[in-house]
């Protein structure tokens, strides 16, 4: 199967100029641990996770904005990528989700390790 068939199309995202507290609030809803970060034009520019927010709290720095704590070098996938390639990206980089982007670098979904678990749940 391809990423398109397993990805979650309702990715919760955030913009880079929002406050870390806003990211924490979104994460607290419990729907996801990964927020793709968008610029003003809706392009993917980073990712922020519960890990990053926790780190910001522990270091108690002056960082106030998502932009200051996000990971900028985002490892991503696209809808037509075979899921085994996507799974390798997760494994090799010790991460648990990949934003799914179209050709314009706009987020169209998110693929998490949990979504890959569907492969073993009898759906395929
Ligand atoms: N388990 C790891 C550890 O013990 O260090 C932590 C998980 S991972 C390395 C944490 C970092 O990965 C976070 O800073 C997060 O922003 C980053 N991350 C998560 N998903 C990512 C992705 N798709 N692309 C790039 N970075 C990602």
How confident is the model over 88-116, as pLDDT tens digits? 999 999 999 999 999 999 999 999 999 99
Q: Sketch out the chain's domains with CATH numbers.
A: 3-120 (3.10.580.10)
Ligand 1: atom nearest CA of 55 is 14
Whose CA is closest to atom 19 on ligand 1?
Answer: 95
Cβ neighbours of 119 (radius 10 Å): 15
Cβ neighbours of 95 (radius 10 Å): 18
Q: How many whole angstroms separate alpha carbon 107 and alpha carbon 114?
A: 19
Tens of pLDDT, residues 53-72: 999 999 877 889 999 999 99
Q: What are phi and psi of 111, to 5 degrees?
A: -115, 120
Q: How far is the CA of 40 from the centre of ligand 1 (A)?
A: 23
**How much is the ipTM here?**
0.91
Residue of 5, 24, 23 whose CA lies nearest to 14? 23
Q: How far is the CA of 94 from the centre of ligand 1 (A)?
A: 7
Ligand 1: atom nearest CA of 70 is 16
Cβ atoms 37, 14 nearer than 8 A: yes
Pocket (CB within 6 angstroms of ligand 1): 34, 47, 49, 51-52, 71, 74-75, 94-95, 97-98
């Amino acid at each position: 199967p391809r990423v398109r068939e397993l990805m979650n199309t309702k990715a919760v995202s955030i913009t880079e100029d929002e406050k870390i507290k806003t990211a924490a609030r979104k994460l607290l809803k419990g729907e996801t641990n990964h927020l793709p970060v968008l610029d003003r034009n809706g392009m993917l520019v980073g990712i922020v996770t519960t890990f990053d927010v926790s780190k910001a709290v522990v270091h108690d720095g002056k960082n106030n904005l998502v932009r200051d704590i996000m990971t900028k070098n985002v490892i991503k996938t696209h809808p037509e990528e075979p899921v085994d390639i996507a799974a390798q990206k997760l494994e090799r980089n010790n991460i648990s989700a990949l934003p799914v982007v179209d050709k314009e670098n706009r987020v169209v979904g998110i693929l998490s390790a949990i979504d890959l678990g569907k492969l073993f749940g009898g759906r395929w």
